Structure 1
């Protein structure tokens, strides 16, 4: 198969690798243009851009598909396009250009969590399962029929980072299957019931509050880890909360945000308690909650934030 690959972030790189290793011909890789990043604000290539160049694949970075860019896309004469978190709306002319259309590798069990941040939102909502769908793209937002799907459980302490890596590998495997079997797959229309939308994560969502109930707090911490990272203020700096475990058996009347008498970094909330399994101080690397508690010499009744 003559393939076009379209993707931008780290999540898409394993899929690009799988396409390159599959024996099919990757004609070109489309990605978002380099953008200023880091302290020096130097232009930085996207992860897909960098990986495609390392593989010897031509990289194209149009800012839109108006006019010449759409013509150049069609001129590749591809059999199929594989799209993974590309970040640019594809007009109908582009969707129709490859012989077998464009397939999207989407990180949710559609129709739940259409949109920009399906992994984050699944964890933050307390879903017990998520997965990958290989979808035939159409003009609507993640509305196309599904060709392949596979589910995975979300463990109580799974973070978005954990699922990101698991789903990226799953997506790579399913994408190869879809390309290999494209002529034999039967698209299944998404049901009209159960549609939810995964809005883009805003950094304003990252500030945590121990006055929240324990369920909400644990989901927020795990759902926003590692990026942007839920945080509370401590000693004038941000303390990131990177992994939490809900402790449903713990009932406490202690003030929210204070430590309980336990072996780990167990904190009272507005209702119940959570154990902070991993935290990160500003300018330092992540450490276990136990290591942080011992290093800060915190004891029962001490406030974690403030």
Structure 2
């Protein structure tokens, strides 16, 4: 099929690659404009733009698709279908209607649960047992369209980063399957019950609040690994926790107990396993304490 692909982050890259590998004609790739990143704040293309350019594909990075000129260019590619995966811009009706077979979205949740921007992180934070991918026919509403294919996977104790990699590969496989015979997968409307919304992650959510239960904090750590990274502050320094274990126990919230950085929570005790100081590599909590004192009795507010 003649396809326009629309995506931005690393999650989207395997999906673009799978479409190319399956032999589809990718007429154009749309991605968010380059952003300033790194210490030098140089303009850096998105992961999708970088891969598309490596593949020799036509790339467009409009700030918006709401003006008539951008919509005319989009329509001019003459696509059979548009494939959207974490693009990051709202698609106006003129864009949704331009491809002959409409627009299909790879959404990383089991719709209608976790419609919106951050479904993987929200599923972990909520303590869901499973998540997955839906291939959805796009319409004007926020992730409200009918679903062609869906597949689930257990969340277990995995991080957002680990689930993102798995769901990206799953989405790539399901999209290739759907495009191989669109008529074989009639779109089914989403049920009205069970709708939840996955709001965009605010960086302020990454600060650990030890007045919550240890189980909730452990979920927070997994949900924000690798970004933005759950953290606490001590002696004026920010310490990220990348992996931790919640265990039964009772201690004042935020109180460091023992000599292995165990931290009291409202219910239970949090035991950090992997941590990271600002500007340093990942280390175990034992390695941290060899060169950075967080003595028992310290209260992390």
Moved more, 224-233 or 265-274: 265-274
Aligned to 1:128: 129
Q: Distance in 1 between matches of 2:82 and 2:169?
A: 19
Distance change >3 Å, CA 297–CA 34, structure 1 → 2:
closer
Residue by residue over 1:245-264, the C-alpha shift from the partner in whole angstroms, topping out at 9 and shown as x without a partner, is: 222xx222x333344458x6
Aligned to 1:57: 57
Residue by residue over 1:279-304, the C-alpha shift from the partner in whole angstroms, topping out at 9 and shown as x without a partner, is: 111110112234334554667x3537
Q: Distance in 2 between matches of 1:296 and 1:44?
A: 35
Aligned to 1:152: 153
Unaligned 5+ segments in structure 1 are none
Aligned to 2:281: 285
Alignment of 1:109-258 (within 5 A): 109-155=110-156, 157-247=157-247, 250-252=248-250, 254-258=251-255
Shift in Å, 1:163: 0.9
Root mean square deviation of aligned Cα: 1.8
Residue by residue over 1:8-46, the C-alpha shift from the partner in whole angstroms, topping out at 9 and shown as x without a partner, is: 111101101111111111111001111222222221111
Distance change >3 Å, CA 20–CA 287, structure 1 → 2:
same
Alignment of 1:39-58 (within 5 A): 39-58=39-58
Contact 2:256 2:300 in 1 (8 A): no
Unaligned 5+ segments in structure 2 are none
Match of 2:298 among 292, 296, 303: 303
Aligned to 1:98: 99
Shift in Å, 1:201: 0.6
Shift in Å, 1:142: 0.2
Shift in Å, 1:162: 1.3
Contact 1:107 1:131 in 2 (8 A): yes
Q: Distance in 2 between matches of 1:194 and 1:2?
A: 35
Aligned to 1:268: 264
Alignment of 1:4-19 (within 5 A): 4-19=4-19
Contact 1:237 1:282 in 2 (8 A): yes
Contact 1:265 1:277 in 2 (8 A): no
Shift in Å, 1:193: 0.5
Moved more, 235-244 or 189-198: 235-244
Residue 109 of structure 1 aligns to a residue whose secondary structure is coil
Q: Distance in 2 between matches of 1:164 and 1:273?
A: 28
Residue 74 of structure 1 aligns to a residue whose secondary structure is helix
Contact 1:130 1:153 in 2 (8 A): yes
Residue 100 of structure 2 aligns to a residue whose secondary structure is coil
